[in-house]
Structure 1
Amino acid sequence: MAVPETVVAIDFGTTRSAWAYQVSGQADNKILVKIPASADTSPSSTIKTETAALIGGRGSGGLVSFGPAAIEDYAASDHVADQALFRWFKFDLCESRTDQTEVGSVMTESVGGQHTVPLLGVMTASLRYFKEDVLAFLSRTGGRTVDVNSVNWVLTVPAIYDDFAKRFMRQAAYEAGMIDRMNSTRLRLCLEPEAACLAAITTDNPLTSNAEGKNMMVIDCGGGTVDITAHKIISVEPLTLEEVAAPDGGLFGSTRVDNAFRVWLKGFLGEKFQEIETTRTLLSIMMSWERKKATFQGLDSAAVWRLNLSELAGYDVTNQDMENLRRSYNDGKPSSLFVGGEKFNVTLPTTLVTSFFTPTLQKIAECLRRIKRESQLHDLHRVFVVGGFSRCPMLREVIRNGLDLPAGRVVDVHEPDLAIVKGAVMYFDRSTSFNSRKARYTYGTGFAVPFDDSNAEHRRRRAAGLVSHHDGKVHVSNGFSIYIRKGDDIPEGGILKRRRYGPLKKSQTSMSFAVYCTSERNPSFADENGCFEVGRVSFPLDMTKEFQKRGIVGEMTFGGPELTVKIVDHEEREITDAVMIMSRAPAPTY
């Protein structure tokens, strides 16, 4: 009897995470949501666990605990020097840095800043925890041992992730043991707002059931990022979508609001802040803020907002000290920003709390206005807002105003926190729903351009020594051979490009080639400003074959959720030991 296969989606968020699954062959065909380490599962659970990892060995060892347990263990262990707590570490994949050009060189910092370790280790330990939780739960509830090879995995990623970040997540999943080889088709990466599309656009949703030919937008507002996609609905059954604007967004998530509160707290406490900066006390205050933040209604809220700072008593702070802090902070400020309260209870005026949200909301508004101005987005039928940050009333108002839409066009999705993880389960079998996408970049490879003496750029490059000689002819180095241009429509499955490569010398035992990208539509050379080497593929040559048959064919697929490369030999057999190293460093300029 065949073992039923299971699709498991992991929504690994910046601040909160969950996983969901669906077992083939079940009559009800439900998608059930599971919170790691919880015994419960439900099709309508609304709780996700904190994305927090407590790791031993000063951050380089094994996982001690994950989620709320990690935070509680960290708070209770009172400065265990060997343990490090990591939160918000997905941010480190969003910010390109020239000193972090390879997967293993991306670093992350622990809470409190005492430990800096490779992000790959933290991510791998976290995904391994999810994998083990999945297998244990499915084995326990299914009455049989579930093997990792009977699970099809979907891992969600922000739409603004570049190729490097996506490859990083695949590498972490591979090292966590979710798949047995890097390019395994048992793992699919799913863009978070695309997952939300599948959850929101259904035949039983009256807002989309008759929406063929209309444009819709999904805005995924999470803790770390805000991701925006826009599609035309070609059909609802079967669901077929065409992307009308390339994914957009930025680092405008709710953690930016948390950072603004932290800056205020530092200013309010003054020197006392330094005493708690690397302690569990600050962590506790911040978590209290995060819980209360979700209930804030903006200027329509109550006149004051209360904050309990009683934990400061453990640092020799007295009631009089608190009064002095209030008096010092209010000095010179307008009365609308005065803080009040008694003893360790501090009250903040609504205008002050609103100011913590304002810069982030302004960034989101600017992004939406730019998308509307630069794209062909007109007459949006519906805007679906998902993610934990979407519950913020002020955010929904910003979205409506930024897109200049009537209130009824901006729609709250049922269980917005879980739309992504549920849609990601659907994605494994319904990825073809996305009939076409817009290319975010221009992609290509380098090649030698035949020298043209009438071309001033060619003459300049020859004078700079950027030429080579083959068969008595001069070629200009580093030409950009364009495979796909930014803004082009890409069919489902991406665009496959094949190119043959061969050795130049009989003694040559290996080869490599680079893949480049740029935001320009018509680059001429791969070393122009703005061009990046996004990956380099290396592969061995079969020295047992005749020289003429040692060549290979590189197959590159552009435009899907991932950039994929496959190397086949002269007889079309895949070379499995080919290695692709992703990079986010810019190509050198001269």
Structure 2
Amino acid sequence: MDIPEADLQLCIKNGSCIITMTVSGAAFIHLMRHIGVRGSLDGCGILGVLHKIDAEALISFGTLPWATIERLVHKVFIPSLHGAQSSAKSTVFSQHGIEKKYKEQDTSKEELLVVAIDIGTTYSGYAMSFKSQKYVIHTIFNRTDKNTSKVPTALLLQPDGIFHSLGNEALLHYNIIDEEELNKWMYFSRFKMKFHKTANLSRHATVAAANGKELLAKRLFAVFLEHVKNDAINQIKTNAACDVISPQDIKWVITVPAIWNDKAKQIMGEAAYEGGLASPRHSERVVIALEPEAAALYCRALHHISPLSQDSEDTTLAFEPETRYLLADFGGGTVDATVHEVQSDNRIRELHHATGGAWGGVYIDQNYVQLLERIFGEKMIEKFRSNHQRDWTDMMLTKFESAKRNIRPEGTLYLELTRPFYDFMNGEATSIKECINRFDNDDVRLVRGYLSLKYPEVKKLFEPVFSNICAHLKRLLENHPGVKFMILVGGFASSELLQTYLKTKFESSFGLRVIVPPHPSFSVMIGSVLFGHDPSVFIRKR
């Protein structure tokens, strides 16, 4: 076979996967000699070559299995490029919506993609996108509930302290452990608030598991991050049908509340190193993103991410040049609020440092617990909580969390009292119905096994938290006139009750629009991917 004088473009295709590489004629002949003399080339891949001066001339040389193509590219073809002094370019292919870039072996170690990990108080998740398509963002963490990409912020360690599972798997396994073994296992949930509640946080700070045993907070986050990292890499390999991605190919972004102090942020960075995301020597591979900034990037990019949504169009109005907006991030544990102004070059200037407090959704949970204590007795609730840890977790994390988010303005809240709780109360020589009758409140009733709270009682759960939030947002607006939009993001922002409350308080009195973007609970997670691609978009107040 004569060696072509011009460079050729090698095309390898397998369904939606394509590899293209500009190569010298000598390198192409080297490859043909390796595969062209070995009989039948059966499989699903199509191997061909496209001559640069004739874009329509595709010459097909047969078919190859995808595994063979992958082996050829990495073990035969790429080495041959260097031997033949080829002018090979970077290579890109995609499969099932995941894309991957290969580079020559002697190129720099620039990251190929960004993976952002959002550890929330109640739910956590990760998202990713490749540098060549930063707005094609993938969220694939939760494989047991197809309605969400997040999992409960839960971690389960075996009696010997070895990792067992996280997220839904941790919660499910914790619920089936034998009673006599339960106290040996370490189950952690909602552990993020430790970093906010502890004023003088140190590297020696600990977090208590459900059984009372303690673990260093930094170690706990390191274990969580390590196994999210492993899951992310496995998902990339699985969806891309090859085994070449490593942590060194990834820029990792970890989200933190803006109101965390520097010590807490530093410990989170150290936990990332301990979890194997990067090493201090390559600290540039780990980026700490402030949650409100990440959420702002999500909102600004909605016309790229979800171009057909009317909500996307409304939200992006807040990001026109010379527009001021207040962004409030309503998480499970904290509420962060900041004021930004969009510059003429589309960069975002911070006018007010993110500030806030511990006014997240979990504080409504605390008010609900106090209500249960008033109805059934403080000692009774504490006994159930201590002796039936997983049943208490199910009643609060699963049952109440769902009801809390879905309550409508002026609506009645129906809260499921689980069978274990019924059995416990009956075993204590009392009944749930008797306790509710003694409570003697017309707004609290037992309806077909559910604790029914009419709206006046619901307000008592929500209003103390809402009142603190409104007072803080009002101060920010008074100090920064000209704000045209208030953007609500975070998991708690999906509460219709919260949305209505804030619209009533602020839209007419301050002449602004309250906007909730599509999927507010994903705003930080997805926006932090965009932050990883371009953190310079923000001009922070000094």
| Pairing 1:131–2:235 present | no
Q: What SS class does the counterpart of residue 139 from structure 2 fall into?
A: strand
The amino acid of 1:277's aligned partner reads R
Stretches of structure 1 lacking an aligned partner (at least 5 in a row): 439-489, 491-590
1:169 CA drift (Å)? 0.6
Match of 2:193 in 1: 91
1:37 CA drift (Å)? 5.4
**Residues of 1 paired with 2:394 and 2:130: CA distance?**
39
| Pairing 1:413–2:413 present | no
More deviation, 391-400/146-155: 391-400
| Distance change >3 Å, CA 29–CA 359, structure 1 → 2 | closer
Structure with more strand by fraction: 1
Stretches of structure 2 lacking an aligned partner (at least 5 in a row): 1-89, 91-101, 104-110, 304-312
The one-character-per-residue Cα deviations of 1:47-97 (angstroms, maximum 9, x if unpaired) are 411111112247xx2221111111111111144222111111110101233
Alignment of 1:17-416 (within 5 A): 17-26=124-133, 29-36=135-142, 46-57=148-159, 61-79=161-179, 80-98=182-200, 100=201, 102-103=202-203, 105-111=204-210, 114-142=212-240, 143-181=242-280, 184-202=283-301, 204=303, 205=313, 207-208=315-316, 211-235=320-344, 239-270=346-377, 271-278=379-386, 279=388, 280-286=390-396, 287-298=398-409, 300-302=410-412, 305-315=414-424, 317=426, 321-330=431-440, 333=441, 335=442, 337-341=443-447, 344-373=449-478, 375=479, 377-403=480-506, 405=508, 409-416=513-520
**Residues of 2 paired with 1:218 and 1:297: CA distance?**
23
**Residues of 2 paired with 1:152 and 1:380: CA distance?**
34
The amino acid of 1:418's aligned partner reads F
**Residues of 1 paired with 2:415 and 2:365: CA distance?**
16
**Residues of 2 paired with 1:283 and 1:121: CA distance?**
23
| Distance change >3 Å, CA 148–CA 203, structure 1 → 2 | closer
1:203 CA drift (Å)? 8.3
**Residues of 1 paired with 2:184 and 2:414: CA distance?**
38
The amino acid of 1:260's aligned partner reads N
| Distance change >3 Å, CA 345–CA 390, structure 1 → 2 | closer
**Residues of 1 paired with 2:256 and 2:423: CA distance?**
41
The amino acid of 1:372's aligned partner reads L
| Distance change >3 Å, CA 241–CA 313, structure 1 → 2 | closer
1:356 CA drift (Å)? 0.9
| Distance change >3 Å, CA 37–CA 181, structure 1 → 2 | farther
The amino acid of 2:483's aligned partner reads L
The one-character-per-residue Cα deviations of 1:196-252 (angstroms, maximum 9, x if unpaired) are 1111124844554572112012111111111111111113xx531111111111111
The amino acid of 1:365's aligned partner reads C
Match of 1:432 in 2: 536
Q: What SS class does the counterpart of residue 337 from structure 2 fall into?
A: strand
Q: What SS class does the counterpart of residue 297 from structure 1 fall into?
A: coil
The amino acid of 1:189's aligned partner reads I
**Residues of 2 paired with 1:316 and 1:364: CA distance?**
36
Check the 8 A contact 1:64/1:70 in 2, yes or no.
yes
The one-character-per-residue Cα deviations of 1:406-436 (angstroms, maximum 9, x if unpaired) are 78710010111111111111112221111x2
| Distance change >3 Å, CA 397–CA 39, structure 1 → 2 | closer
Check the 8 A contact 1:54/1:70 in 2, yes or no.
yes
TM-align CA RMSD: 2.5
| Distance change >3 Å, CA 50–CA 207, structure 1 → 2 | closer
Match of 1:579 in 2: none
Check the 8 A contact 1:222/1:389 in 2, yes or no.
yes
The one-character-per-residue Cα deviations of 1:284-304 (angstroms, maximum 9, x if unpaired) are 211211111111113x214x6
1:348 CA drift (Å)? 2.3
Q: What SS class does the counterpart of residue 432 from structure 1 fall into?
A: helix
| Distance change >3 Å, CA 264–CA 203, structure 1 → 2 | closer
Match of 1:486 in 2: none
Q: What SS class does the counterpart of residue 406 from structure 2 fall into?
A: coil
| Distance change >3 Å, CA 308–CA 185, structure 1 → 2 | same
| Distance change >3 Å, CA 7–CA 301, structure 1 → 2 | same
Check the 8 A contact 2:131/2:533 in 1, yes or no.
no
**Identical aligned residues as a percent:** 23
**Residues of 2 paired with 1:367 and 1:316: CA distance?**
41
| Distance change >3 Å, CA 324–CA 137, structure 1 → 2 | same
Check the 8 A contact 2:364/2:461 in 1, yes or no.
yes
Check the 8 A contact 1:368/1:403 in 2, yes or no.
no
Check the 8 A contact 1:46/1:415 in 2, yes or no.
no
Alignment of 1:546-565 (within 5 A): none
TM-score normalised to structure 2 length: 0.72
TM-score normalised to structure 1 length: 0.66
More deviation, 202-211/305-314: 202-211
**Residues of 2 paired with 1:182 and 1:221: CA distance?**
35
The amino acid of 1:350's aligned partner reads Y
Check the 8 A contact 2:444/2:451 in 1, yes or no.
no
The one-character-per-residue Cα deviations of 1:107-162 (angstroms, maximum 9, x if unpaired) are 11223x52222111211110011010011111112222311101111111111111
Q: What SS class does the counterpart of residue 371 from structure 1 fall into?
A: helix
Which consecutive aligned stretches of 4+ in structure 1 deviate over 6 angstroms post-superposition?
A: none
